[in-house]
Amino acid sequence: MDQSGLAAETPKKPWGPVGPAAPSCSLTDVMSEQLASQLDEENIVFTSDPAGDLLLAQDFPDTASDLMLAQMLQMQFDREFDDQLRREEKKFNGDSKVSISFENYRMVHPYEDSDSSEDEVDWQDTRRDPYRAERPQTTPRRGFSGKGKNITTKHDEDTCGRKNTARMENFAPEVQVGDGLGMDLKLSNQVFNSLKQHCHSEQRRSARLHEKKEHSTAEQAVDPRTRLLMYKMVNAGVLENINGCISTGKESVVFHADGGSLEEQPVPNEVALKVFKTTLNEFKNRDRYIKDDYRFKDRYSRLNPRKVIRLWAEKEMHNLTRMKKAGVSCPDVVLLKKHILVMSFIGKDHVPAPKLKEVQLSPEDMKTAYHQVLQIMQQLYQDCNLVHADLSEYNMLWFEGKVWLIDVSQSVEPTHPHGLEFLFRDCRNVATFFQRRGVTEALSVYDLFNAVSGLNVPVGAEDEAQFMAEIVALEKRNEDHVQRRGKKTFPVSSDDSDPPLNPDSDD
Ligand code: ATP
Ligand code: MN
């Protein structure tokens, strides 16, 4: 067999497999002169072999290192100790069903020791470990000392109790586990488990509560951003004080506040803050009031949702300004700041004026109210070039013997693609309300529509479908006309003197 070939393939391990054992020979053989000279000759052959060095290293593994030798000896000794231990363990346990392990007394070499569990590490790392003082040494120097001594297992009640107490430090940080007052606390498994259970469910509960709280603030439109804006108004002296919420509507929250002064001009004593909701759900349905309004058309498409909300606030402001100019009774605009509109308060001493829906009026007053509403609708259409588009007994307040119009963010011009349909709906609400409240001279919805718009749509058989068809045809004709000429056709007094619109300005 070629020795050098074998040597090249064998890994270089001190106690790894070595080549086949050399044939044994007797002492006389070793001492023989003849053999000596024979070996000498062979040596000459070996040294001429290029792989010679390698073979020598292989045959006499690292005997040069004292440390290595010592370690190998120690290991051998430890193995014998462990074997002895195993035998003792077997003898100790005998046929008993409950067996006790002597594992901890084994002389394990560091690189062999890797079987300590996570849990054990946690427990031993606990700083204030009440158990530490009594813990048995895991590896006694002289190993196991025999029967008769008390042996503590991991199921021992005291051990377990202390371990459970120490483990409580792993609970969530907000859970108060106390410091044990220096007592040697022992928690039974049952108590520990129910504490742990309680801790988990508490955590879940508090997470749920937190979520709910955040949600409700969003619901009320007063998110931190809005609160900051409101605070700034008070800081700037525009408002003296913000008192409380008057109403939580579909698309806004209205607050009552005490007015201060703005640029040296006094602000009304009592003001209403209309905060447009930044949650968009409601506005989604109301897109058509704004995106088809030619005044806002160009800007609408390139705005993000938050800016669209500001557009609503701005629209309400412009509409109120127009109405005021035409002499329609409505709140005075004080200030517009992003999605918050400040206007004069309709009401007195913190009490808002009642809606027409709520107020109990005498027949006389009801008649007066009707004639006022008719006049307001005509002014709105003919002087302001507006259709309210959400007119009803809910958006008209009764204050100091007068009807006041509010909530005009969705109001559009009559030439809006659906403007006449919106007007018809307004007329139906108004006619129905006053007829029900016993106002005998209240016009029918069709007559009211014509009285307001001056359009003379044929009333005929008083068939709503037919009337609506006429209205839609009118709108269509107008649309075509606008497209051909870029011009409106309805008989309206065109007063488009609104200031330039610009909500992107102060971000
Ligand atoms: P809703 O969905 O209820 O119609 P909205 O979001 O359209 O609410 P508004 O109708 O403008 O908001 O206002 C809601 C309520 O707040 C009104 O019904 C009215 O009672 C009160 N309110 C609004 N503006 C004023 C004001 N200037 N003065 C007094 N009260 C006001
Ligand atoms: Mn309203």
Query: What's the pLDDT score for residue 145?
Result: 52
Q: Which of 316, 406, 429 to mutate for ligand 1's pocket (most ligand atoms within 8 Å of CB)?
A: 406
Q: How far apart are CA 292 and CA 13, in angstroms?
A: 87
The chain-wide mean pLDDT, for the chain, equals 77
Among the listed residues 293, 390, 407, 426, the single catalytic one is 390
Query: What's the pLDDT score for residue 20?
Result: 58
Average the pLDDT over 241-253 and give the result: 90
Ligand 1 center to residue 361 CA distance, Å? Answer: 20
CB 256 within 8 A of CB 225: no
Query: What's the pLDDT score for residue 58?
Result: 45
Judged by DSSP in three states, 234 sits in helix
pLDDT in tens, 372-393: 999 999 999 999 999 999 999 9
Query: What's the pLDDT score for residue 15?
Result: 57
Confidence label for 51 from pLDDT (cuts 50, 70 and 90):
very low
Is the pLDDT score of 213 beyond 80?
no
pLDDT in tens, 257-297: 999 999 888 999 999 999 998 765 545 556 667 667 767 76
DSSP character at residue 265: E
- Alpha helices by DSSP H, 147-239: 157-167, 189-219, 224-235
Number of Cβ atoms within 10 Å of the Cβ of 381:
25
Average the pLDDT over 103-130 and give the result: 48
Ligand 1 center to residue 441 CA distance, Å? Answer: 29
pLDDT in tens, 163-184: 888 887 777 666 777 766 667 7
Confidence label for 2 from pLDDT (cuts 50, 70 and 90):
very low
pLDDT in tens, 407-456: 999 999 999 999 999 999 999 999 999 999 999 999 999 999 999 999 99
Query: What's the pLDDT score for residue 360?
Result: 97
Judged by DSSP in three states, 245 sits in strand
pLDDT in tens, 66-93: 888 888 888 888 888 988 988 998 998 8
Confidence label for 306 from pLDDT (cuts 50, 70 and 90):
confident
Decide if 78 is catalytic. Answer: no
Q: What percent of the chain stands above pLDDT 70?
A: 65
Measured from the alpha carbon of residue 250, the closest ligand is: 1
Confidence label for 344 from pLDDT (cuts 50, 70 and 90):
very high
Ligand 1 center to residue 241 CA distance, Å? Answer: 19
Min mean pLDDT across 88-97, 128-137, 229-238, 377-386 is at: 128-137
- The DSSP line for 94-143 is TT-SS----GGGS---GGG-----HHHHHHHH-TT-TTGGGPPPSS-TT-
Give the pocket of ligand 1 (CB within 6 Å): 246-247, 249-252, 254, 272, 274, 331, 343, 345-347, 352, 355, 394-395, 406-407
Among protein residues, the one whose CA lies closest to atom 27 of ligand 1: 345
**Measured from the CA of 331, which atom of ligand 1 is nearest?**
27
CB 405 within 8 A of CB 323: yes
Higher-scoring residue by pLDDT: 272, 97: 272
Ligand 2 center to residue 393 CA distance, Å? Answer: 10
Confidence label for 133 from pLDDT (cuts 50, 70 and 90):
very low
Where b means 16+ CB within 10 Å and e means fewer, 53-80 reads eebeebeeeeeeeeeeeeeeeeeeeeee
Q: Which of 219, 246, 273 to mutate for ligand 1's pocket (most ligand atoms within 8 Å of CB)?
A: 246
Q: How far apart are CA 34 and CA 297, in angstroms?
A: 117
Where b means 16+ CB within 10 Å and e means fewer, 11-39 reads eeeeeeeeeeeeeeeeeeeeeeeeeeeee
pLDDT in tens, 22-44: 555 555 555 666 656 665 665 54
Confidence label for 115 from pLDDT (cuts 50, 70 and 90):
very low
Q: How far apart are CA 390 and CA 448, in angstroms?
A: 16
Ligand 1 center to residue 407 CA distance, Å? Answer: 6
Confidence label for 469 from pLDDT (cuts 50, 70 and 90):
very high
Chain center to CA of 328 = 46
Q: Which of 254, 355, 388, 410 to mutate for ligand 1's pocket (most ligand atoms within 8 Å of CB)?
A: 254
Query: What's the pLDDT score for residue 474?
Result: 94
Query: What's the pLDDT score for residue 181?
Result: 63
Of 336, 356, 360, 361, the C-alpha closest to 346 is 356
Query: What's the pLDDT score for residue 349?
Result: 97
Chain center to CA of 412 = 37
Number of Cβ atoms within 10 Å of the Cβ of 308:
21
Q: Which helix (H) or strand (E) holds 322?
A: helix 305-325
Query: What's the pLDDT score for residue 483?
Result: 80
Among protein residues, the one whose CA lies closest to atom 3 of ligand 1: 249
Of 478, 401, 479, 392, the C-alpha closest to 428 is 392
Q: How far apart are CA 323 and CA 343, in angstroms?
A: 13
Domains and CATH numbers, the chain: 152-212 (no CATH), 224-485 (1.10.510.10)
Of 3, 19, 112, 6, the C-alpha closest to 61 is 19
Q: How far apart are CA 73 and CA 424, in angstroms?
A: 107
Phi then psi for residue 279, to 5 deg, are -80, 130
Q: Which region, left, alpha or beta, applies to residue 456 given φ > 0 means left and ψ of -120 to 50 means alpha?
A: left
Phi then psi for residue 128, to 5 deg, are -95, 75
Among protein residues, the one whose CA lies closest to atom 22 of ligand 1: 254
**Measured from the CA of 344, which atom of ligand 1 is nearest?**
27
Is the pLDDT score of 458 beyond 50?
yes
Confidence label for 217 from pLDDT (cuts 50, 70 and 90):
very low
Ligand 2 center to residue 470 CA distance, Å? Answer: 29
Is the pLDDT score of 466 beyond 50?
yes
Confidence label for 370 from pLDDT (cuts 50, 70 and 90):
very high
